[in-house]
Amino acid sequence: MSATPVLALRGVSKRFGAVQALTDVELEVHAGEVVALVGDNGAGKSTLVKTIAGVHPIDEGIIEWEGRSVSINRPQDAQHLGVATVYQDLALCDNLDVVGNLYLGRELLRLGTLDEVTMEQRARELLNTLSIRIPSVRIPIASLSGGQRQVVAIARALIGEPKVVILDEPTAALGVEQTAQVLDLIERLRERGLGVLLISHNMADVTAVADTVHVLRLGKNNGSFPVKGTSNEEIIAAITGATDNAVTRRQARNAEAAK
Amino acid sequence: MTSDKSTIDTPNADGVPADDVPPPAVEALDPRLLIREEGLKGYLIEFKRKMRGGELGSLPVVVALIIIWTIFQLKDSLFLSSTNMVNISYFLAGTGMIAVGLVFVLLLGEIDLSVASVSGLASALFAVFATTHGINTWLAALLTVGIGAGIGAFQGFFFAKIGVPAFVVTLAGNLGWNGLMLWVLGDTGSLSLSDNGPMHLLGQRSFFMDQDIAGAYILATLAVAALLIGSLIDQSRRRKVGVPFRATSEIVLRVAVLAVVSYAVAYVLNKSDGVPNALVIFLAALIICDFVLRRTTFGRKVFAVGGSIEGARRAGINVALIRIVVFAISGGFAALGGLFLAAQTYTATLGAGTGQLLMLAIAAAVIGGTSLFGGRGNVWSALLGMLVIQSIQTGLDLLNMNTSIQYMITGAVLLAAVVVDSVSRRTQRSSGRA
């Protein structure tokens, strides 16, 4: 793991009108590291991802890219830096084939026209190196299963040779086998030296592949844990704020009363 | 694919060897894939599977065409005569041009209801430019098509940037541009056009290579040679880099089918006057548009927007720009079609662009196999659809049918085409291909 994180957020805040969605959030993603971002609904995970992806520019704080401070105001800025985002809804074009989707928006050209042959060849190579099994690279996305679409969406993120890949709930709608395939793929991304930011609700997935877990709660950092040596309960307690709730407060009061 | 807990907890240690099996020489194929077998037999199997899956392609059109031609031939033995075939091939070009523009719009999953009015306006504008103001006819034609494209872009702006549904914008345009045409023609009523320049080229008495017998055969040979050479080059490139390629037998079959069709058409047309220049220009436009849609990034973007707007946007495609350009293309082709239609009678009339023209153009695109739901189709559907439409029109004319009957039949044909489109889309969904 390199000393300088590829991507670092320092004291990032984001407001939407009267809502403080993010407050002084810190986050670091190193090359070859899988960072899981967990938190309850409304904790600010999606907002955080969107600030990195350039959908919502940050209000305060600094985004550092390989140690340099950068400003990400548009999705293109993030893409140029080398951040690839796979959103939960995938947003693939059902009518285009796998090759068409992989290269959508960055088609290879030959004499000014689409170079289908090279794109098909490279697509097959990429899918092979990632051990992605799909029936054919020339069938429309509509024919693929949910898990296959997910891996195609992730593979598409890799076409631009990014340094950080953000995966938003990649296993949310998948079955057991497909989830395992996606987790395998995430490990392969780490082996390729990419930084992976994984947003998930699923503790089993997080502990299976992540190196570090960052917990967000009500738009603030609520702890960062190395996966090894941390129990699920500790993470869940940080997510739900179980250390500070009606039950613990009552226990504390009772304890004081007993004195 | 190992996914049990033990391998994941200790990544790279014992997880890798399982995946590290040396890749087989021939890439392992998914056993569930109903892969196309090499050769002719596989081609037929693939064809049958597509039919069952609802990917009907141009099959319904061919069937419809055979039925229509049989019925009309039984009613009137002149129908299949070469003179009538030349007629059909000439008259399909005008409405066909409008349908080409509509194909682009339909690929986005939108509709342009203003094309007929724009075509009428174009004929009026051309007449005023060329006849009243004496502008050079070629320049006038260019100006007219440019104005058509501008009108399309104008409507596309309201749709893409303001967010008004295309249906409403172009419905307003349908009325508005028709009104503008009436205003342009004003008191004169109708203007006649002289038989020169573009009007002569698009007129009924203008044939490729001046009716030379060789003309039709040269065109047929060019088409066959282009397909053959293109397929072989593609095959060798694919073979070289090791991606699947078309079997030689399949290429031969495709080229043979095209050769039979094109030489037969050339022979029939040659028995009468030859290939109308209007048809040649229409075919050239089809080839160019097909190339643009299938081989350029712009075409890929059009399909992407038609497939998933969000997907296209995330891929960095400027959706609004694509929409505006596509509506401009539609407007431009509508104007071009208007010139073709004006040249049929060498007049710009108050009735241009009214009546069933809009329905015919939409019907042609849909009958030919371009989906109303966006993302699926090709420009050749304009040609196939127009063959059906124009055969019906010409057949009914031969039988001296009333306009009332014509309207009803055209309406029924459009309905039938949309039903086929909807049903085939549902079948495709249920078999997971849409």
Joined tokens for residue B122: 């174009």
Taking CA B255 as the corner, what is the angle to CA B251 and CA B257, rounded to the nearest 5 degrees? 120
Specify whether B306 is located in the same domain as B248. no
The pLDDT of residue B8 is 37
Specify whether B337 is located in the same domain as B298. yes
The pLDDT of residue B146 is 97
The pLDDT of residue B88 is 93
Answer yes or no: are the C-beta atoms of B282 and B93 closer than 8 Å: yes
Specify whether B376 is located in the same domain as B357. yes
Instruction: Identify the CATH homologous superfamily for domain A7-82+162-258.
Output: P-loop containing nucleotide triphosphate hydrolases (3.40.50.300)
Q: Does A121 touch chain B (CB under 8 A)?
A: yes
Range of the domain at B227: 209-275
pTM: 0.85
The pLDDT of residue B433 is 57
Closest CA to A155 of A176, A175, A141: A141
Q: Give domain status of residue B35, yes or no.
A: no
Residue spans of chain A under pLDDT 50: 1
Q: How far is B226 from chain A (nearest CA, A)?
A: 17
B77: which residues sit within 8 A by CB, 6+ positions away?
none
CB < 8 Å to A79, chain B: 316
Q: How many CB atoms lie within 10 A of CB B107?
A: 26
- CB contact (8 A) between residue B312 and residue A93: yes
Specify whether B167 is located in the same domain as B180. yes
Query: CA–CA distance from B114 to each of B134, B160, B175, B244, B305 (Å)?
Result: 28, 16, 8, 44, 21
Residue where a domain stops, chosen among B218, B249, B275: B275
Specify whether B202 is located in the same domain as B247. no
Q: Does B31 touch chain A (CB under 8 A)?
A: no
CB < 8 Å to B230, chain A: none
Q: Give domain status of residue B146, yes or no.
A: yes
Closest CA to B317 of A93, A50, A168: A93
CB < 8 Å to B307, chain A: 93-96
Q: Give domain status of residue B222, yes or no.
A: yes
Work out whether strand A60-65 and strand A68-70 pair parallel, antiparallel, or are unpaired: antiparallel
What's the pLDDT tens digit per position in B33-69? 555 555 567 667 777 777 777 666 677 788 888 999 9
By CB neighbour count within 10 A (0-12 exposed, 13-18 middle, 19+ buried), where does B162 fall? exposed
Q: Does A229 touch chain B (CB under 8 A)?
A: no
Q: Return d(Cα A213, Cα A210) in angstroms, integer.
A: 7
% chain B with pLDDT above 90: 55
The pLDDT of residue B19 is 42
B149 residue type, one letter: A
Specify whether B268 is located in the same domain as B281. no
Q: Return d(Cα B420, Cα B434) in angstroms, integer.
A: 15
pLDDT along chain B (434 residues), means of 10: 38 39 44 54 73 71 89 91 92 95 96 96 94 92 96 96 95 95 86 88 88 90 95 92 86 93 93 92 96 95 93 88 97 96 92 88 89 89 92 90 85 85 79 59
Q: How many CB atoms lie within 10 A of CB B40?
A: 14
Residue B112: in which H helix or E strand, if any? none
- CB contact (8 A) between residue B300 and residue A140: no
Q: Give domain status of residue B123, yes or no.
A: yes
A-proximal residues of B, 294-353, CB under 8 Å: 294-297, 300, 303-304, 306-308, 310-317
The pLDDT of residue B217 is 93
Q: Does A15 touch chain B (CB under 8 A)?
A: no
Please state the domain extents for chain A. 7-82+162-258, 93-161
CB < 8 Å to B296, chain A: 112-114
Specify whether B240 is located in the same domain as B262. yes
Q: Give domain status of residue B42, yes or no.
A: no
Work out whether strand A113-114 and strand A109-110 pair parallel, antiparallel, or are unpaired: antiparallel
Specify whether B320 is located in the same domain as B389. yes
Q: Return d(Cα A251, Cα B73) in angstroms, integer.
A: 94
Specify whether B267 is located in the same domain as B313. no
B341: which residues sit within 8 A by CB, 6+ positions away?
B94, B95, B119, B123, B352, B353, B357
Joined tokens for residue B261: 């069709």
The pLDDT of residue B37 is 53
Residue where a domain stops, chosen among B275, B292, B321: B275
Number of domains in chain B: 2
Query: Looking at A77-116, which runs of residues are DSSP E strands?
Result: 83-86, 109-110, 113-114
CATH number for B357: 1.10.3470
Q: Give domain status of residue B30, yes or no.
A: no
Q: Does B33 touch chain A (CB under 8 A)?
A: yes
Residue where a domain stops, chosen among B275, B290, B323: B275
Q: Give domain status of residue B33, yes or no.
A: no
- CB contact (8 A) between residue B29 and residue A135: yes
Q: Does B293 touch chain A (CB under 8 A)?
A: no
The pLDDT of residue B219 is 94
Q: How many CB atoms lie within 10 A of CB B134?
A: 9
